[in-house]
Structure 1
């Protein structure tokens, strides 16, 4: 069931590149959509089968502290492609895009002689065309076949940057379940119902499906480029589950990141260095000897890849500014290796999103079972209340509370640390020109929830 590569991919005809002579590594970036870091076997997910991620880990470096800039598709991918945080590149709320004239990774690589190819969901909607890819295929299924068909039919003499975006495990999740729901371990902040387990099994099944597709692309890269390639696997943010996507808890902002570069990165290594998605842009330019734009928020972590340091960022900043009418809840956060401070900018309003509002099959349909459980289960009621209603500030000791269940904002022991991180975050927001605005009208907690209002 979990073969790394199909026979057809082993026998594909190979096109030869002049990249060896130019000494420029080819680049392959594989992106999944809505996958938290914990949802992979190499990060401790029990039962979940991701053998190709395991294989990447054996051949490269695993980042245990990789984060995105914003936990929604458009701003996250815009940050990757610009090396700038959302308030600086202009893509703040979901379904928004960078301001005109902002340098993007594709153009920088093209100026250095790279041919940039994209398949699937790489940027977000219209930005896929605005990035100026040399070739773009918008199909979301059969990605490896599309890539193979293209490279078999085109002769290229320049180095290649191949970007592949798998829509999985974004909703709607598959109906073909590879896992027994009762065998899965749920996060502690979930309400354990049969409906939740069934959909969690489908979410896991989509992750395994994406892993299988990625394995084909990795094998294709090995055959196409020999050892002359950099392979990056990562995800744009956490899954569409409560306290994940659209949130600044680690389930929303901490993602898998594995980098393979034969002959340059020591195989089977891990690092605690904290890196952000905005750092991928300058890192790739650095690794390829390309010209670096001035004024980026990101910085190169080349020395981490080379094993010269296990320290990179002191702080990780993340922002979320909303997603249309479904999620009108701007949040900001600062995190170091041990502590996280979260600032909820509009705490007098409900936190909500597509899942609890729409409750679609193969997506948020489990929410009805949560509401039913809350009628007789105090713990279930508390989880739902915590989901909808947030305090103005939150503070977590991640060393003792990695799942961020105990808010220590009123702890006397931690006030010095809280004040320090609060001040640093405020100064950073000012430097970024962060407007802190809500892009839609929020839903006051004095009234009905968006689901009760029938928002669509």
Structure 2
């Protein structure tokens, strides 16, 4: 027998031990995943200008985690880490739009071996990669918009005697953002790293509108689950990484890697509670496996935080490591980071490269190029705007932030003599983790070097043209 088969059998046996004698089914688990939604952009996390009433209701009924992080701030690597419990260097999905290595096992089959029916509707894995992860059911539009209609049909016909693990992924608020649904561009709040222009405010309103659209779908799914998945059910809202804004998606600042994570589990999680345990997306399926009565497979990076959900522990991780390796020729800028509770160290592997993303290199205006042009125009007359634009495209080799006094990561302390010891220790932590991961620091794509003229990338044809 293979090791994985033995793991499945052991998991099933342990499940019988834990639940069989009491004839209590493992909990149903439902996970709602939004796309490109930063933690602070919702009511439960302090936003007063974005309407997310269903997220607020979920938080009122359950527990809000304040220190939840993804493994990587782009769709494919983040979602593959979720499904495999492995960070990108170990699962193979390092740059965006790359599948995991064929020999890497995924975790949904472990839940299946425990008796779960494991279903994924909408954008759960990335693109067509859902077929690689062993879900029992794949439904909805894996690339674009999806709704709850297929989920309702599935819940009406499935065998309800089996415990259910259901993932539902919406495209919102991924670009292209829909029309502004009534947000006031004059009063909407901008993050401090953004340049305040009319175009930025217009696009921010569209982004907020798409967050509300995701929230509407959350309300629909919760209503379906309450009606058709009775009994012991853990319901979670989360997101694959931060929003597609400068210093957000494709970056290792908290705006890119820190995500909402709200869990409601009647009888287990106290209503309106908050938890500051540090958790990461690769931990999710190991947690579900333990809650289902199974044994987490050995050798993966993910660590179950079931003890936190069950009230038996208050802490989980001491460090969060994150990686980003690129997204086609739009974004050739590999980065690594280690985050403690109050400090973050970022290593830009190639500071001689220009930092760009779809926002500044794509010829498709829906990717943000329209408002980015307004930033460039503002930079011509505003020193503040010019500094933000330069900081976006030119990065130092190392960055160090005191997150307690500087949560927006505005002041890089890497060159401060008073932080020399801390910087050195975080370098050591980073080096050791990268070695443990077998991180080859591969550069994917052709970089733009500092000083080279900016060229645009055509997302349809993959062609480049000289920027105007």
- What's the TM-score bracket when you normalise by the shorter of the two chains? over 0.9
The residue that corresponds to 1:371 in the other structure is 376
- How far apart are the structure 1 equivalents of 2:466 and 2:223? 45
Alignment equivalent of 1:97, drawn from 95, 99, 105: 99
What TM-score does the superposition give when structure 2 sets the normalisation length?
A: 0.90
The residue that corresponds to 2:220 in the other structure is 216
How many angstroms does 1:127 deviate by? 1.1
- How far apart are the structure 1 equivalents of 2:427 and 2:46? 32
Q: How many residues align?
A: 438
The residue that corresponds to 1:431 in the other structure is 436
Mapped pair 1:443 → 2:426: no
- How far apart are the structure 2 equivalents of 1:285 and 1:150? 23
Taking structure 1 as reference, are residues 197 and 454 closer, same or farther at Cα in structure 2, changes over 3 Å only?
same
- How far apart are the structure 2 equivalents of 1:106 and 1:239? 27
Q: Runs ≥4 in structure 1, deviation > 6 angstroms?
A: none
- How far apart are the structure 2 equivalents of 1:448 and 1:138? 42
* CA distances 1:37-88 after superposition (whole Å, capped 9, x unpaired): 0111111112111111111111111110000000010100010111111111
Q: What SS is found at the alignment partner of 1:53?
A: helix
The residue that corresponds to 2:73 in the other structure is 71
* CA distances 1:148-192 after superposition (whole Å, capped 9, x unpaired): 122224444311111100000000000243311111110011010
Consecutive unaligned residues in structure 2, runs of 5 or more: 1-19, 458-463
* CA distances 1:393-438 after superposition (whole Å, capped 9, x unpaired): 0000011110000000111111111110011101110111000111
Taking structure 1 as reference, are residues 251 and 450 closer, same or farther at Cα in structure 2, changes over 3 Å only?
farther
Taking structure 1 as reference, are residues 219 and 455 closer, same or farther at Cα in structure 2, changes over 3 Å only?
farther
The residue that corresponds to 1:418 in the other structure is 423
- How far apart are the structure 1 equivalents of 2:465 and 2:278? 41
- How far apart are the structure 2 equivalents of 1:400 and 1:345? 26
Consecutive unaligned residues in structure 1, runs of 5 or more: 1-18
- How far apart are the structure 2 equivalents of 1:439 and 1:110? 35
Alignment equivalent of 1:191, drawn from 185, 190, 195: 195
How many angstroms does 1:227 deviate by? 3.4
- How far apart are the structure 2 equivalents of 1:357 and 1:177? 28
- How far apart are the structure 1 equivalents of 2:203 and 2:23? 50
Q: What SS is found at the alignment partner of 2:440?
A: coil
Taking structure 1 as reference, are residues 99 and 373 closer, same or farther at Cα in structure 2, changes over 3 Å only?
same
How many angstroms does 1:104 deviate by? 1.5
Give the 5 Å matches for 1:352-431: 352-358=356-362, 360-364=364-368, 365-431=370-436
The residue that corresponds to 2:108 in the other structure is 106
- How far apart are the structure 1 equivalents of 2:251 and 2:455? 17
Q: What SS is found at the alignment partner of 1:238?
A: coil
The residue that corresponds to 1:454 in the other structure is 465
The residue that corresponds to 1:85 in the other structure is 87
How many angstroms does 1:132 deviate by? 2.8
- How far apart are the structure 2 equivalents of 1:135 and 1:178? 37
What TM-score does the superposition give when structure 1 sets the normalisation length?
A: 0.93
The residue that corresponds to 2:243 in the other structure is 239
* CA distances 1:112-144 after superposition (whole Å, capped 9, x unpaired): 111111111000112112223222123244522
Mapped pair 1:230 → 2:241: no
Give the 5 Å matches for 1:250-329: 250-329=254-333
- For the Cα contact (< 8 Å) 2:140–2:147, is it kept in 1? no
CA RMSD between the two structures = 1.7
The range that moved more, 177-186 or 76-85, is: 177-186
Q: What SS is found at the alignment partner of 1:126?
A: helix
How many angstroms does 1:359 deviate by? 5.4
How many angstroms does 1:360 deviate by? 3.4
* CA distances 1:233-281 after superposition (whole Å, capped 9, x unpaired): 1000001100000000000000000111111122211111111111112
- How far apart are the structure 1 equivalents of 2:208 and 2:454? 29
Q: What SS is found at the alignment partner of 1:270?
A: strand
- For the Cα contact (< 8 Å) 2:177–2:210, is it kept in 1? yes
- For the Cα contact (< 8 Å) 1:65–1:274, is it kept in 2? yes
Q: What SS is found at the alignment partner of 2:277?
A: strand
The range that moved more, 45-54 or 132-141, is: 132-141
* CA distances 1:12-57 after superposition (whole Å, capped 9, x unpaired): xxxxxxx995511111111000001011111111211111111111
